[in-house]
Amino acid sequence: GDSVTQMEGPVTLSEEAFLTINCTYTATGYPSLFWYVQYPGEGLQLLLKATKADDKGSNKGFEATYRKETTSFHLEKGSVQVSDSAVYFCALRNSGGSNYKLTFGKGTLLTVNP
């Protein structure tokens, strides 16, 4: 079945540091890939997405590129801020069927210190 493996956390960085959170996936077919963010006390928010190989999703300074050859979708940001502190989830949605079911990774807690 489909699965997503994320880098274990927690990750602690200083403000303005470079961020990478690794994500790899296993899926049949051609899934769409997502990064969701969950700020403390809030629900999941879509951060960025990519729907086909070599697509780059970007939002709020975050980027991730859909790499089919390595089945990866690593999240990066060049300079993190304290306000980026949150839990980040990598997810996939398989192209098969019509229920648009999402499969999530375990999440990575990011803490950014001033």
The piece of 15-23, 62-70, 77-85, 94-102 that touches other proteins (CB under 8 A) is 94-102
Is residue 47 close enough to count as binding other proteins by CB under 8 A? no
User: At residue 82, what are phi and psi to the nearest 5 degrees?
Assistant: -55, -35
Q: How many CA atoms lie within 13 A of 44 on its CB side?
A: 12
Under rule CB under 8 A, residue 82 binds other proteins: no
Does position 42 interact with other proteins (CB under 8 A)? The reply is yes
| Residue 5 or 65 having the CB closest to other proteins | 5
Cα angle 46, 101, 42; round to 5 = 35
Query: Is there binding between residue 10 and other proteins (CB under 8 A)?
Result: no
Q: Are 77 and 18 in contact (CB under 8 A)?
A: yes
Q: How far is the CB of 73 from other proteins (least distance, A)?
A: 14
